[in-house]
Amino acid sequence: MVNEKIQKALNDQIQAELHSSYLYLSMCAYFESLSLEGCGHWMKIQAQEELMHGLKIYDYMILSGSRVLLQPVEGPATTWDTPLAAFEAALKHEQYMTKRCNELASLAIAEKDHATNNMMQWFVTEQVEEEANVESIVSKLKLMGKDGPGLYMMDRELASRAAPTVAPAAE
Ligand code: FEO
């Protein structure tokens, strides 16, 4: 049985994951407005992944007999100064999400909730990849310069990102 303190933290994390999804969908819309469809595609896939993260916690809560209480999702930023600034904001956001996941895992350990800790370890590992992916894009954009052929090439590269697969609660 998941205790009340952890149930609250998990409900807060569902909200944070859904907000992440909303933020990346907003970045998708920003890129689409610039006709950078590849960057938009990458962000739309990212938005889908974040929704799946929220659902993974949702499913775990249901499976463990916890009460899911959905909370309002704050509106995201809608524009950025440059494509690079949007990806830098995405990186900063992922660093924030990593901190949240680590804190939730630490709370589960402190509460001796091994099942929740085990579930959160999936997120801790996932965050390493998430940060690395965005960091790589930021580095390449910086190398290429902020406009022209470099950005066009990056847009084409990001268009090939594959759709996410469903990650069940038990995985
Ligand atoms: Fe689910 Fe990228 O944080």
Give domain 4-158's CATH architecture: Up-down Bundle (1.20)
Segments making up each domain of the chain, as ranges: 4-158
Q: pLDDT tens digit string along 68-102? A: 999 999 999 999 999 999 999 999 999 999 999 99
Q: So what's the pLDDT on residue 170?
A: 52
Instruction: Find the residues whose C-beta lies inside 6 A of ligand 1.
Output: 17, 20, 50, 53, 94, 97, 130
Q: So what's the pLDDT on residue 167?
A: 60
Q: So what's the pLDDT on residue 127?
A: 97
Instruction: Give the number of the atom of ligand 1 that is nearest the alpha carbon of residue 46.
Output: 2
Q: pLDDT tens digit string along 105-160? A: 999 999 999 999 999 999 999 999 999 999 999 999 888 875 677 888 888 889 98
DSSP string, 61-127: HHHTTPPP-----PPPP---SSHHHHHHHHHHHHHHHHHHHHHHHHHHHHTT-HHHHHHHHHHHHHH
